[in-house]
């Protein structure tokens, strides 16, 4: 993809570059207007071919067949393809034509981490600031973000009760 041309794949900020440009693929393909997501059968993704039809998916705005293997940087797509095959060897039945790869992810995840103390979750320089969840770099999705938020809330509560 032209957006990745000349990019050092091992640069620390490579993840930020990918997160900045990959969502533009959906915009360019026209999915954003209808909130439809590009999708591909898992088997087709691994084989590097377009899915001509897609099974039902729980994503309510809908999915549209798209060659996700094409949109990703080759180094990432290849590793995902290899990883899905390896995971199927450990968990039989994972790799199936009924599984759907839905993408692209939005730019919501944080490529940075805001410092916090391990025992209190409070920022080391700003008293009363408790960085938590996905935007602070302590979670990678909705479930882990919710769990981190709950853990952080417990730390805040304990600090008020015990006077930490």
Whether the Cβ atoms of residue 129 and residue 122 lie closer than 8 Å to each other: yes
**pLDDT surpassing 70 at residue 5:** no
Average pLDDT rounded to a whole number, residues 140-154: 82
Query: 36 or 124: whose pLDDT is higher?
Result: 124
How many angstroms separate the CA atoms of 62 and 107, rounded? 20
Residues 128 and 81 placed together within one structural domain of the fold: no
Bridge-based pairing of strands 63-65 and 37-41 is parallel
Q: What is the pLDDT of residues 94-146, one digit of tens each?
A: 889 999 998 765 444 556 778 899 899 999 998 888 888 867 777 766 777 78
For 12, counting Cβ atoms within 10 Å of its Cβ (0-12 exposed, 13-18 middle, 19+ buried), the class is: exposed
Mean pLDDT, the chain, rounded, equals: 77
Identify whether residues 91 and 115 lie together within a single domain: no
Q: Is the pLDDT of residue 3 over 60?
A: no
Residues 40 and 59 in one domain: yes
The model's pTM: 0.53
Indicate whether 136 and 67 sit together in one domain: no
Task: Give the pair of three-digit tokens for residue 70.
Answer: 């094409």
Contact present, 104 and 25 (Cβ < 8 Å):
yes
Contact 100, 41 (CB under 8 A): yes
- If pLDDT is split at 50, 70 and 90, which confidence band does 45 have? very high
Round the CA-based radius of gyration of the chain to a whole number and report it.
Answer: 20
pLDDT score of 106: 43
Domain that includes residue 46, residue range: 2-102
89 & 57 share domain: yes
**Pair 93, 124 in one domain:** no
Question: How many domains does the chain divide into?
Answer: 2
**Pair 145, 80 in one domain:** no
């Amino acid at each position: 993809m032209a957006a990745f041309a000349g990019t050092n794949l091992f640069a620390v900020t490579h993840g930020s570059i990918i997160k900045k440009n990959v969502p533009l693929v959906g915009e360019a393909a026209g999915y954003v207007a209808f909130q439809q997501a590009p999708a591909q059968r898992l088997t087709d993704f691994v084989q590097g071919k377009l899915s001509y039809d897609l099974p039902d998916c729980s994503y309510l705005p809908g999915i549209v067949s798209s060659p996700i293997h094409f949109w990703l940087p080759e180094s990432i797509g290849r590793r995902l393809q290899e990883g899905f095959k390896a995971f199927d060897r450990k968990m039989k039945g994972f790799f199936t034509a009924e599984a759907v790869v839905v993408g692209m992810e939005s730019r919501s995840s944080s490529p940075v981490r805001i410092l916090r103390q391990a025992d209190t979750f409070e920022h080391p320089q700003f008293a009363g600031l408790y960085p938590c969840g996905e935007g602070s770099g302590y979670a990678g999705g909705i479930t882990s973000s919710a769990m981190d938020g709950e853990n952080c809330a417990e730390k805040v509560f304990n600090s008020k009760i015990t006077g930490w």
